[in-house]
Structure 1
Amino acid sequence: MTLREDDPRSVGGYRIESRIGSGGMGVVYLGRSVSGRAVAVKVVHARYADNAEFRARFRQEIAAARRVSGAFTAPVVDADPDAERPWMATTFVPGRTLAERVAESGPLDWPALRRLGTELAEALREIHRAEVVHRDLKPSNVLLEGEGADGIVRVIDFGISRAATSDVRTQTGMVMGSPPFMAPEQFSRPREVGSAVDVFSLGAVLVYAATGRSPFEAENAYLAAYNTVHSEPELGELPEPLRPLVSACLAKEPADRPASGDVLDALAGLPEELPDGGAGEEPPRIPVTVLSGTVKVPSAATGQADREAGQAGRKRRGKRLWIAVVGAALLGIGGTAAALVSGAPTSAVGEGDRADPRAAPRGSVPSGWKPWHNALEPDKDEPMPFGPSCTPSALGVFCSSPQVALMRLSPATGRVDWTKPMSEKEVSSFSMREPVVHGDVVYVNSADRSEGVDAYDGRTGKRLWHLDGPVGEFAYLSGVLLVRLDELGPSDTARFAAYEPGTGEELWQRKLTSTSPSPFHEGPEGMLYADLRGGSGGIARLDARTGETLGTVKAPEGDLWLATVHDSTAYYARWEDNTGVSAAFFIQDLSSGKTRRIDFPWSVEPEAPPLVHGDTMYIFDYGNETLLALDVKRGKPLWTSSRELRVFSEPAIHDGRLYVNLPDTSILALDPRTGKEIGRTAPSFDTQGRSFEELTPSSMPPLLVGEVLYGSSGPGIFSVADVL
């Protein structure tokens, strides 16, 4: 591949000639040393260069690659993990990958397949003897050196490998690898993987080489992960002599798989040629015995195998779903967060999909509107704040910060219409919450720095009423402004009050005990749900106007996080061993109390409650920057966005389309049924050269108002025309 304009021309003294390819961590170039020696130079992506975790992983890759340099790997020539953009050079191996070989010429014949398996097993044996786990063995990481199908096998790209004794661990929730060739434990127990994952991948690669398909092939990565954990492998036209060995490699439990050395011994015992075989005649089969995680090949004299041995006592595997960050999920703070929880684009949602009181009619745009962006940086005319939190609406974009109590950006131009100053009073601590917008009223932290609540007319900026602070939380739910009067702290007991949104009149006040710092959730019109676990132990239905308890259902037992309530249904994730990883998801009908459980194989890391719409749950996986769609009625995954796409915000659903932000500050529209791209906007900011920290994923999803989309990102706020 030819070099691009922004590609380096020299790295570490090596002259760069062309691109070989790119992956999740970096770009690989063909380079030349001063003497003319060809090398493959891998350079870490700029967005990861300042990330300590990725630098640690890259150092680990270099160390691992150096430890396993041998006949079936590409030796390390040079490296600099401390460079501005870390890089590593290995011997350049001319040839094509197994994926390219199969795509161009079809599945391998028996001699080539047997040789491939033998050399891969030998490579893994040496890798494991060096106490390294590759963790991403797949067809594109298997290089066939030389011409034709009989090229010498080289295992490349140790990008996510680790030494068995390394302290560098995969981040909780981060799925590393390629799902169609990953072992089940890489999805459910990523911190516990060992050399058995490579043996599983070897079995999957052999099936691919023989059939052109992974044994867990699916239309997307998430379904492939689900098949890997729950389904039996599809072996297709895999030659009969290989089936017992490959089946053993693909065992769900790591302890039931053979070691790489045992796989090598078993492959060495297979015939070099298969007989032609007459009609109705099966090829000869070499029996394999699975005993305590090893494969034994019987001698030709005995020809017996006890394939049942070692299967008793198989432990049931725990399946983890996702981790939930409670701090970002408290009570659905802000209008957009409430919309995210509800599944309908509204800041006060009950049953069904009521119209968003902030939204303009479909087809409308603000008078004089043109696409705009505002970096929220100070200048002489517009005193912009530092570190603002913003909420868009049909009236404009409302922002607050420790410097400015509230400002409104014009929906037509993005310029500041008016500001409300923040008191300069010095306080020992001060925290800000994003503005809560409902109808024409905006609720923010009070301008007196007491961390109370101020309510403003969103059109004029006139203050309507004030509540002294400090208070813990506030949110608009079920027609009232609900406020935690006590500050957040170690106690499970706190006072809560409901106020008339327009006047600030107190409607009721109650003291509640709950393990959740924000126990209230939106219910049907005029009703609230209160999570009283830690106190009475149930989920109570309350009259939003009076605070009166209308009924209670018993909550499911266990360490569960009530992630969201939608359409009178509660969605819980179970926490395990204080890891933040959930092995199960519980769905409870809050009328009958009936609860059912669903399991998913992929651990994910959301920053906010999931978006539930009908029978589908959409989760933004912060750790992997993907969007997952789950059928909660059947307990099945539907689709996942590609990790190459890099979703960068919570999702929102408007008019039958899903909208998410991308890192380059464009907005993407997806078909909610299939995950297919409908269209995307042009980027609003120039993000070239910005670090990962400057482009942190946002908990605020895009908002559609009429024909205009409003988005928020690290660089600032922007407004663009809808993609359709």
Structure 2
Amino acid sequence: MTLREHDPESVGGYRIESRIGTGGMGVVYLGRSASGRAVAVKVVHTRYADNPEFRARFRQEIAAARRVSGAFTAPVVDADPEAARPWMATAFVPGRTLADRVDESGPLEWPALRRLGTELAEALREIHRAEVVHRDLKPSNVLLLEGEGDDGAVRVIDFGISRAADSDVRTQTGMVMGSPPFMAPEQFSRPHEVGPAVDVFSLGAVLVYAATGHSPFEAENAYLAAYNTVHGEPRLGELPGGMRPLIARCLAKEPADRPTSGEVLEALAALPEELTDGTPAEEPTPAPEIPLTETVTSPLGGTEAVRPGRLRRARLLRDSTDRGHRGRRLWAAVAVVAVLGGTGAAAVAVVTDDPVSTVDDAVPAAPRTPSAGTAPAGWRPWHNALGSDGKDQPMGLGPSCTPDALGVFCASEQVALMRLDPASGNTDWTKPMSRKQVDGFTLRQPVVRDGTVFVYGADRSQGVDAYDARTGELLWQLKGPLGDFEYLGGALLVRLDPLDSPGSARYAAYEPRTGKELWRRELSTSSPSPLYEGPGGTLYADLRGGSGGIARVDARTGRTLSSVTAPKGDLWLATIHDSTAYYARWQDDSGVSADFFVQDLGSGKTRRIDFPWSVEPEAPPLVHGDTLYIFDYGNETLLALDVKRGKPLWSSSRDLRVFSEPSYHDGRLYVTMPDTSILALDPRTGKEIGRTSPSFDTAGRSFEELSPSSVPPLLVGDVLYGVTGPGVFSVPDVT
């Protein structure tokens, strides 16, 4: 692969010649030492360089790779985990991955398959003797050497998520580390407790892939593959008969039922070097169907794209020290970490050309309600880079914008508030920001409702300023510092004390246009953000950890109208939608969850859904009817789940690289793409309806240089508005 404009000329004294590959965490280059020796140089992406946990994991990767360097691994030559961009150089191994070999030439014949199995088992035996667990053995992490005398020899690469037995560096909270469908069941449900048995499970899955061209738990997408891994039986019918019982033992659900890597090596070495004619192959066993039951193991997570204040609330919650009040920025459906291997192959599960659906393809597209057919007078497609020259700005440093029918409203470090004309994208008016330096000042995404815009005060006091959305007239203001604010139930709800106040929270409600105080009340709660939208001018208040369960409150008077007892346990209230509460249960003090609860706030009845893996729920889902729509930031995919039946409906292909939270408008789902186009999807099947043309030129920039958007597309009449790293834009709706 050729070098790109921003690639380094050298790293650690090694001259960079070309790219070997790229993935979610870094880039691998072919480099040369001063003496001419070829090395593979792995360099992490800039955006991870300041993450202490990532640096700790990278140090662990280097230590693990050095610890197991031997006949079946690529030895570490040099490394600098403390560099501005941490890097590691290993001996360059000429060859291709097992994934490439099978993709290009088909499944392996018996002699090559037997050799692969014995050498992989021997490699794992040596890795385990060094007290290291690889945890991500898969076809793209197995290199087959090329060249005289070495053709077909095995090297195991990428110890990016390995763990030494004596290491105290934990997997990032909530991250399921690995690559379905080559992961063991316990990696989904107990990721902090994995041992050498997970590598044996992966070895069995890799050998099935090498022999058949598919994994034993093949499915249309990563989520269903994980379900099959935890609950289904492996497809082994195409394996050579003599190997089948051994592989079945490797793929046992319980770690204790699997052989050790040494036992696998002995069993494979005992098999004949040539197969006899009496080795029949059975018909493949079909993958089990997911039962349509009320309680089912399924991934769950998502975003609530329609409320501008949610991401702000998410970031504030993320800073909370109480594990029960964790953040809501990401709710990873399957947090499959793409750690780059020596070949640059990312740890991505099943990738298809089109969105995968469990819905019959014959089902017609969801009917669409005719739109108003309107656009602002004189409107034409436009884009505005907001002074960045169209370059993607680091997350949190650029302007924070909210699109609305009256325009796009943005706040930045320099401008308290500005409005872009919805027809042209030109700046209508701006409100200057005080130049006074204030410790702890943060930006707030503007909240726009009913012709009024609310932002943090221009005086930098962390108060609230309310403006007329059309004219920019300052309507009223509150001096700070204040904890946070949101528009709920027809009122502006303001937290009057800091978010970390123990045991209670003081709230006041204000008339949005006049600033008249409607009520003031202290809520006994342990939640830093306890209020949610309710029906008919009401609110729901999360009073757990304080005076009770979930209370329904009149938004205009602050009076409690009714209450229900919340489910017991250390549960996180993810969101409330249509009088239904969605909770997740924490596992001990890990901050991850494998149990989910859905409660009717009228009757108080609760039902439970189990996950087949542990997740860290950090953002509310976008709920429409009985379906949750989830933007998985980590994998840049969109997932739809039927909560009523507990069934995954469909998942977008990772090839699409979904790049924003989703929105639901007029019978369609909309998401922004990396090239700044907007994609429309059928919400029932995930099938692409169409997409707009890109608004910014992103040519020459890799995905790693761009940032997913926290703001979903907005449809107003026949016009779409989008917010991306390069800026904001407006385009005609997909026809």
**Is TM (by shorter chain) over 0.5?**
yes
Q: Deviations over 1:413-467 (max 9, x none)?
A: 4333223345677877655533221121222334565544443221112233445
CA contact (8 A) 2:714 2:720 kept: yes
1:452 to 1:61, Cα distance in 2 relative to 1, 3 A: closer
CA drift of 1:204 comes to 0.5
Q: 1:561 aligns with which of 554, 572, 577?
A: 572
8 Å Cα contact 1:20/1:29 also seen in 2: yes
Question: Comparing 549-558 with 50-59, which one deviates more in the overlay?
Answer: 50-59
- CA offset digits 1:144-193 (Å, max 9, x no partner): 33489982222233343343334444322334322111122323333333
**Residue identity in the other structure for 1:232:** E
Which residue identity is paired with 1:64? A
- Report the counterpart of residue 324 of structure 2 in structure 1: none
Q: Determine the structure 1 residue equivalent to 2:592.
A: 581
- Which one of the candidate residues 589, 614, 619 is aligned to 2:625? 614
CA contact (8 A) 1:321 1:601 kept: no
Structure 1 residue 593 and structure 2 residue 594: aligned? no
Residue of 530, 539, 549 corresponding to 1:528: 539
> Aligned partners of 2:315 and 2:438: how far apart in 1?
27
Distance change in 2, residues 1:18/1:459 (3 Å): closer
* TM-superposed deviation, 1:396: 1.2
Of 542-551 and 8-17, more deviation after overlay is shown by 8-17
1:631: how far off? 2.0
**Whole-angstrom distance in 2 between the partners of 1:445 and 1:69:** 55
Change (3 A) 1:278 1:415: closer
**1:723/1:269 CA distance change after superposition, 3 Å:** same
Which one-letter code corresponds to 1:521 in the other structure? Y
Query: In 2, distance between residues paired with 1:129 and 1:445?
Result: 58
Q: Report the residue type matching 1:213 in the other structure.
A: H
CA distance in 1, matches of 2:33, 2:443: 55
Does structure 1 residue 102 correspond to structure 2 residue 102? yes
Q: Which amino acid aligns with 1:236?
A: G
Query: Which aligned pairs between 1:277-676 and structure 2 lie closer than 5 A?
Result: 277=278, 328=311, 330=313, 361-365=372-376, 367-376=378-387, 388-401=399-412, 404-422=415-433, 430-447=441-458, 451-467=462-478, 470-605=481-616, 607-641=618-652, 647-662=658-673, 665-676=676-687
Q: 1:426 to 1:273 in 2, by over 3 A?
A: closer
Distance change >3 Å, CA 69–CA 468, structure 1 → 2: closer
Q: What is the Cα deviation at residue 125 of structure 1?
A: 0.5
| Most deviating of 36-45 and 266-275 | 36-45
Q: Indicate how the Cα distance of structure 1 residues 42 and 680 shifts in structure 2: closer, same or farther if over 3 A, else same.
A: farther
Tell me, in whole angstroms, the C-alpha distance in 1 between the residues paired with 2:46 and 2:315: 34
Letter in 1 for 2:236: L
Matched with 1:181 is: 182
Alignment of 1:180-329 (within 5 A): 180-277=181-278, 328=311
Q: TM-score, normalised by structure 2?
A: 0.78
- Counterpart of 1:705 (choices 716, 722, 732) is 716
Q: Tell me, in whole angstroms, the C-alpha distance in 1 between the residues paired with 2:720 and 2:683.
A: 18
Residue 64 (structure 1) aligns with? 64
Change (3 A) 1:362 1:522: farther
1:130 aligns with 2:142: no
Distance 1:669 1:324 in 2: 17
Query: Would you say 1:684 and 2:685 are equivalent positions?
Result: no
Structure 1 residue 540, shift from structure 2 partner: 2.4
Deviations 1:382-426 (A, max 9, x none): xxx986433221111223356544322222343332233456778
Aligned to 1:119: 119
Structure showing greater relative contact order (alpha-carbon pairs closer than 8 Å, 6 or more residues apart): 2
Deviation of the 1:361 alpha carbon: 4.0
How many angstroms does 1:120 deviate by?
Answer: 1.0
Counterpart of 1:583 in 2: which secondary structure? strand
- Whose radius of gyration is greater, 1 or 2? 1
Q: Note if contact 1:492-1:517 (Cα within 8 Å) is conserved in structure 2.
A: no
1:190 is aligned with what amino acid? P
In structure 2, C-alpha distance between the alignment counterparts of 1:361 and 1:451, rounded to whole Å:
39
Task: Identify if the C-alpha distance between structure 1 residues 62 and 414 changes in structure 2 by more than 3 Å, giving closer, same or farther.
Answer: same
CA distance in 2, matches of 1:542, 1:687: 51
Q: Please say which of residues 238-247 and 1-10 is displaced more in the overlay.
A: 1-10
- CA gap of 1:363–1:186, structure 2 versus 1, over 3 A, is farther
Kept in 2: contact 1:107–1:209 (CA 8 A)? yes
Q: Secondary structure of 2:619's partner? A: coil
Equivalent position amino acid for 1:245 in 2: L
For structure 1, which segment, 528-537 or 483-492, has the greater mean C-alpha deviation from structure 2 after superposition? 483-492
| DSSP-derived class of the 2:513 partner | coil
Aligned to 2:611, what secondary structure does the other structure show? Answer: coil
Q: Judge conservation of contact 1:529–1:539 (CA < 8 Å) in 2.
A: yes
Q: Does the 8 A contact of 1:605 with 1:622 survive in 2?
A: no
Distance 1:170 1:331 in 2: 22
Shift of 1:588: 0.9
Over the matched positions of the two proteins, sequence identity in percent amounts to 74
CA distance in 1, matches of 2:216, 2:79: 36
> Once structures 1 and 2 are overlaid, which stretch shifts more, 245-254 or 603-612?
603-612
Equivalent position SS for 2:528: coil
Structure 2 vs 1, CA of residues 139 and 165 (structure 1 numbering), >3 Å: closer, same or farther? same
Count of matched residue pairs = 662
1:278 Cα deviation from its structure 2 partner: 9.5
Which residue pairs with 2:343 in the alignment?
none
Deviations along 1:193-234, one digit per CA (max 9) or x if unpaired, are 332221110011122222221111111112212222232322
In structure 2, what is the equivalent of residue 285 of structure 1? Answer: none
* TM-superposed deviation, 1:140: 2.4
Instruction: Name the aligned partner's letter for residue 524 of structure 1.
Output: P
Aligned to 1:300: none
**Could you tell me how far apart the structure 1 residues matched to 2:313 and 2:18 are?**
50
What TM-score does the superposition give when structure 1 sets the normalisation length?
A: 0.79
Deviation at 1:481, TM superposition (A): 2.8
Q: Is the 8 A contact 2:303 2:631 kept in 1?
A: no
Do the aligned residues in 1 keep the contact of 2:5 with 2:700 (CA within 8 Å)?
no
**Aligned partners of 1:559, 1:638: CA distance in 2, in Å?**
29
Query: 1:287-307 CA distances to partner (integer Å, 9 max, x unpaired)?
Result: xxxxxxxxxxxxxxxxxxxxx
Counterparts of 1:18 and 1:398, CA distance in 2: 43
- Partner of residue 140, structure 1: 140
User: Residues 82, 489 of structure 1: CA spacing in aligned structure 2 closer, same or farther, 3 A cutoff?
Assistant: closer
Distance 1:448 1:218 in 2: 55
| 1:571 CA drift (Å) | 0.8
Residue 365 and residue 246 in structure 1: after superposition, are their counterparts in 2 closer, same or farther (change >3 A)?
farther
Q: Say what the alpha-carbon RMSD is for the aligned residues.
A: 4.3
* Pairwise CA distance, 1:485: 4.1
Per the alignment, in what secondary structure is the counterpart of residue 593 of structure 2?
coil
Query: Which of 630-639 and 441-450 deviates more?
Result: 441-450
1-structure distance, mates of 2:86, 2:481: 48
Which runs of no fewer than 5 residues in structure 2 stay unpaired? 283-296, 317-326, 332-367, 390-395
Q: Distance in 2 between matches of 1:453 and 1:119?
A: 65
